[in-house]
């Protein structure tokens, strides 16, 4: 088995949405196509760097793609002759100085994830099943609870519009929704939270996401004002790397807190749970796998986290897409997020998937299954 070609293309999202920190108006993403020869036929894998970070094709073309395409067979394959994704990761990291992970973890992770798609197609297995074979120590499943993300700030969007959005998502089968906070004056934000709870029927059906946008002069006010609401969790109240601020917020908020989607190395995850005040069996660690060196690296991160008493049932991937859904199922994580009709063609899952009281059952479509997302698959097929 060998890699024969890798291509990247930048796509603009053209969205008007905003969270507490920025508008998605200028946001781009990289889509990737990887061709491998498995000795019988050519298999093609796809991936994209999930929305929230910009396209990263320059790093791919200048460093990581050439390293993979020029590597020897012994540098890339395992004893069975299959491409070893951990070896591929090591090849892409040759000459890379420790630190500054995000500059390379996003392009590397996207390419590595596309490799998994191609390899699992070669095995005629859905990715989650292939992951269960490669990593049998985890409780793989084909059924995953999915919460829905939304509640963005948008031009002309009212509180009633937010309530309608929540009701529609619950009518469509979701049972937990995450909404944005921190992008409006605190009194207005609290009214939004109260309206969200009313629409969802219960506070534990609502989670909040500040995207690291709360300020020094209001973060503890948010914590104290919302601590007794009984919300499912409060996500990224502070800058992703401000561990002391996380710790202070948690001590004042007391409820469940989530974070980690904007951290990109195992050491960062360990620092967050060690120094950010995170509590075992209460708080949630989020990792965006394609943006954090990919799936092989994620497995190594899980090993280190377990040494620090952090269990997979308190890890949920960031990124509401097919990639994260398969990883969540393959590693038996706590839940996965979904973003239907939010990020254009990059939203949601397989067009045929149906929610069953908050749960989704994965099909046996080989690989990640982008072929079941017709509009997105058309983009992948057109990569030149």
Yes or no: say if 323 and 47 are a contact pair by the CB < 8 Å rule.
Answer: yes
- Render the burial of 322-358: b for 16+ CB within 10 Å, e for the rest: bbbbbbbbbbbbbbbbbbbebbbbbbbbbeebebeeb
Residue 335: give the domain boundaries: 134-368
Angle, alpha carbons 105-365-141 (nearest 5°): 70
Q: Which helix (H) or strand (E) holds 337?
A: strand 336-338
pLDDT at 173: 96
Boundary-marking domain end, from 125, 146, 174:
125
The number of helices, as runs of H, and strands, as runs of E, in the chain is 14, 12
Shared domain check, 147 and 120:
no
- Determine whether 156 is exposed, middle or buried from the number of CB atoms within 10 Å of its CB (0-12, 13-18, 19+): exposed
The confidence score (pLDDT) of residue 345 equals 85
Confirm whether 384 is domain-assigned.
Answer: no
Q: Do 366 and 125 meet the contact criterion of CB atoms below 8 Å apart?
A: yes
pTM to 2 decimals?
0.95
Q: Assess if residue 314 is contained within a domain.
A: yes
**Residues 112 and 163 grouped into a single domain:** no
The verdict on 143 and 94 lying in the same domain is: no
Q: Are residues 191 and 340 in the same domain?
A: yes
For position 242, which CATH number holds?
3.20.20.120
What's the burial of 93, exposed, middle or buried (CB within 10 Å: 0-12/13-18/19+)? middle
Q: In the prediction, which pLDDT does 16 show?
A: 56
The DSSP code for 366 is S
Residue 76 host element (H or E):
helix 73-76
Neighbouring C-beta atoms of residue 16, cutoff 10 Å? 13
Q: Domains in the chain: how many in total?
A: 2
Task: Please check whether residues 113 and 201 belong to one and the same domain.
Answer: no
Is the same domain home to 81 and 178? no
Considering the domain architecture, whether residues 361 and 303 belong to the same structural domain is answered as yes
- C-alpha span between 149 and 166 (Å, rounded): 10
Q: What is the pLDDT of residue 51?
A: 75
Residues 10 and 51 in one domain: yes
CATH number of the domain within which 82 lies? 3.30.390.10
Cα 239 to Cα 244, 308, 364: the distances in Å are 10, 23, 39
The structure tokens listed for 156 are 């002309």
Q: What is the pLDDT along the chain (384 residues), one digit of tens a residue?
A: 999 999 999 998 765 566 766 666 778 899 999 999 999 999 999 999 977 788 999 999 999 999 999 999 999 999 999 999 999 999 999 999 999 898 999 999 999 999 999 999 999 999 999 999 999 999 999 999 999 999 999 989 999 999 999 999 999 999 999 999 999 999 999 999 999 999 999 999 999 999 999 999 999 999 999 999 999 999 999 999 999 999 999 999 999 999 999 999 999 999 999 999 999 999 999 999 999 999 999 999 999 999 999 999 999 999 889 999 999 999 999 999 998 877 778 888 999 999 999 999 999 999 999 999 999 999 999 998
Angle at which helices 159-171 and 186-200 pack, to 10 degrees?
30
Q: Which residues contact 223 (CB under 8 A, 6 or more apart)?
A: 237, 249, 252, 253
Residue 374 lies inside a defined structural domain of this protein: no
**Strand ranges (E), 255-341:** 257-259, 284-287, 315-317, 336-338
Domain match, 71 and 176 both: no
Residues 330 and 183 in one domain: yes
**Sign of the torsion formed by the C-alpha atoms of 316, 317, 318 and 319:** negative
Question: Which residues are tagged catalytic?
Answer: 180, 318
Question: Residue 383: inside a domain, yes or no?
Answer: no
Strands across the sheet with 42-48, in order? 2-12, 28-37, 42-48
Q: Residue 144 has what pLDDT?
A: 97
Identify the pLDDT of residue 20.
60
Same domain, 242 and 339: yes
59 and 164 share one domain:
no
Q: Vertex 144, ends 298 and 317: CA angle to 5°?
A: 30
């Amino acid at each position: 088995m060998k890699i024969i070609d890798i291509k990247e293309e930048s796509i603009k999202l053209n969205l008007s949405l905003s969270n507490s920190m920025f508008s998605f108006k200028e946001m781009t993403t990289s889509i990737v196509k990887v061709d491998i020869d498995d000795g019988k036929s050519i298999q093609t894998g796809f991936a994209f760097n999930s929305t929230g970070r910009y396209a990263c094709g320059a790093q791919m073309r200048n460093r990581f793609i050439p390293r993979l395409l020029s590597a020897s067979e012994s540098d890339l394959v395992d004893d069975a002759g299959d491409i070893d994704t951990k070896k591929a990761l090591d090849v892409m990291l040759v000459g890379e100085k420790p630190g500054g992970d995000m500059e390379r973890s996003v392009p590397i992770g996207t390419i590595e994830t596309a490799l998994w798609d191609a390899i699992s197609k070669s095995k005629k297995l859905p990715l989650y099943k292939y992951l269960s074979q490669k990593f049998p120590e985890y409780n793989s499943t084909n059924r995953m609870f999915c919460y829905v993300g939304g509640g963005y700030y948008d031009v002309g969007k009212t509180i009633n519009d937010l309530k309608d959005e929540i009701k529609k998502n619950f009518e469509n089968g979701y049972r937990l929704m995450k909404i944005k906070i921190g992008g409006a004056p605190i009194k207005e934000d609290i009214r939004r939270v109260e309206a969200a709870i009313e629409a969802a029927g219960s506070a534990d059906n609502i989670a909040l996401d500040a995207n690291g946008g709360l300020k020094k002069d209001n973060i503890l006010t948010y914590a104290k004002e919302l601590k007794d609401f009984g919300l499912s969790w409060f996500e990224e109240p502070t800058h992703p790397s401000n561990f002391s601020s996380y710790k202070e917020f948690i001590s004042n908020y007391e409820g469940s807190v989530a974070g980690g989607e904007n951290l990109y190395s195992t050491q960062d995850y360990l620092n967050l749970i060690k120094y950010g005040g995170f509590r075992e069996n209460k708080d949630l660690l989020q990792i965006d796998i394609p943006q954090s060196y990919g799936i092989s690296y994620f497995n190594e991160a899980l090993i280190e986290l377990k040494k620090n008493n952090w269990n997979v049932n308190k890890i949920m991937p960031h990124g509401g897409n097919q990639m994260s859904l398969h990883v969540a199922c393959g590693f038996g994580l706590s839940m996965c997020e979904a973003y239907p009709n939010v990020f254009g063609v990059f939203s949601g899952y397989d067009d045929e998937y149906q929610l069953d009281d908050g749960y989704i059952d994965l099909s046996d479509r080989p690989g990640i299954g982008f072929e079941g997302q017709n509009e997105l698959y058309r983009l992948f097929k057109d990569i030149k």
